[in-house]
Amino acid sequence: MSAGADLVEIFFEKVDNSAILAEQDIITSINPSFAKGVGIRVFFNGKDGFVSTNDLSEIGLKYALEQALGMLGLEKCSGDRSTFLGLNELKDYGKIKSSYFEQTPQLKETINKILEATNLLKEKGRKIEVRRGSYSRNIQEVIVASSDGTFGRDLRLYQSIGLNALAIDKEYRSSIGRRYGTTSNPVQILEWDIDSSVDEIVESSNKMLYAKYVEAGQMPAVLANKFGGVIFHEACGHLLETTQIERGTSPFKDKLNEKIANEAVTAIDEGMTENAFGSISMDDEGMPTQETVLIKNGYLKKFLSDRAGEIRTGNKRTGSGRRQSYAFPAASRMRNTYIDKGEYKPKELIESIDKGIYCKSMGGGSVGATGQFNFSVEEAYLIENGQLKTPVKGATLIGEAKDILPRISMCADDLDLAAGYCGSVSGNIHVTVGQPHIKVDSITVGGL
């Protein structure tokens, strides 16, 4: 601070990770990893300099600090430090989580669960020829200290389980995958309902194996709950982060308190849902988590903002400063992001459509800087006269966030969440996507 900086932030991290991969009936990979390091960020006149290091010696830390200051044209000096009044009392969110290491299952228990799942896929899925199961566990300790007095510590536990199957019969193919993830639940894998997961995958793979390819066109669509929310996350959620507002690439940058969606749409981002994959006690800038209503009855109410976003755009911080590790500066990022539940039953959405498509499970996709999206549909069915009919494959949903939001005319009452990973400027982080069943009045469906 004596060098003239407006604010200095130090982020310390220590992680203990493990990953397991099962292919067919054997474990093919076990990858443990450990790391610790520090990220130092300096703010001055609206700009910031960031340096990370895993050299935690006094010399190493001082060198990193000097590099961060130098990026902004500042030089370390030993002058008056009266602008720094000291750190606040430590807010230790991790204290009550200290038993994570002891409660997390042993390696052998985890391996047995994964193999049980892949073996069950073989028993129940007669057409399934390729089976994969995966498990990842991440225990992260972080400490954040900033010259504005911020002083916080947290301990975080993330676990996820993936199950994938490829069914084959002559020239026919179907590929189905599911991922389950939680935070703050050490015994998640021991509580995993393997039978239910395997039954869901087998049923889907059987239905999609002989499905015909969908015909392309403009049509109404119903998107299922849980992972169906990935489209809102990718195509719209990122556009409401101040990292996008700073760049001027978001079509919503000047739309606060204006209507950008159908009145049926209320969208929320929060970090508080128990065990949800994107939940955090504090963000990576030391701010306690909170709920942020992004869209209320169609009106844009707030952006997701971190420290840099507040400085450069004027939008108040929302506890959304997140990063993959100490090697990245924090940026405004989503946590648990979803369209809120509505008043309808899922079947009412389907019954309202004469001819359209029901998207039960979403696959991968791509999103442009201003919200253009292109998502494949893993499992889909035609809707005819208000009834689910023939399974179809090869469907792709194409559109733009600013055009699709006004067309979401009905939201069901079955809000549910799904675990996922999100990549952006501050690396890959754990997030939750979600929604109830929603009806989109018209969307471009790519196919044959």
Say how far apart CA 73 and CA 92 lie, in whole Å: 35
Q: Categorize the per-residue pLDDT at 100 as very low, low, confident or very high, splitting at 50, 70 and 90.
A: confident
What pLDDT does residue 85 have? Answer: 86
DSSP code of 344? Answer: B
Q: What pLDDT does 52 receive?
A: 98
- Phi-psi region at 275: left, alpha or beta (left = phi > 0; alpha = psi -120 to 50): left
In whole angstroms, what is the distance from residue 106 CA to residue 37 CA? 26
Q: In which band, very low, low, confident or very high, does the pLDDT at 79 lie, cut at 50, 70 and 90?
A: low
**pLDDT above 90 coverage of the chain, percent:** 92
Given a cut of 70, is residue 81 above it in pLDDT? no
- Reported confidence tier of residue 101, pLDDT bands at 50, 70, 90: confident
Q: Which residue reads 């949903």 in tokens?
A: 397
CATH number of 7-210: 3.30.2290.10, 3.60.20.10, 3.40.1350.10, 3.90.1300.10? 3.30.2290.10
Confidence of residue 274 (pLDDT cuts 50, 70, 90): very high
> What would the pLDDT profile of 108-139 be if each residue is shown by its tens digit?
999 999 999 999 999 999 999 999 999 999 99
* pLDDT tens-digit series, residues 387-412: 999 999 999 999 999 999 999 999 99
Mean pLDDT of the chain: 95
Sign of the alpha-carbon dihedral angle for 380, 238, 336, 325: positive
For residues 326 and 298, the answer to whether their CB atoms sit within 8 Å is no
What is the pLDDT at residue 77?
67
* pLDDT exceeds 80 at position 441: yes
Average pLDDT on 237-244 reads 96
User: Which whole number is the average pLDDT over 276-295?
Assistant: 97
Q: What pLDDT score does 276 carry?
A: 95
> CB-side exposure of 28: number of CA atoms within 13 Å?
10
Q: What is the pLDDT of residues 361-371, one digit of tens each?
A: 998 888 888 88
What does pTM read for this prediction? 0.94
- Show me where the domains of the chain are located: 7-210, 213-446
141 secondary structure, DSSP code: E
Does the pLDDT of residue 82 top 70, yes or no? no
Distances (CA, A) of 137 to 116, 284, 411: 18, 19, 34
Residue 300, class by beta-carbon neighbours within 10 Å (0-12 exposed, 13-18 middle, 19+ buried)? Answer: buried
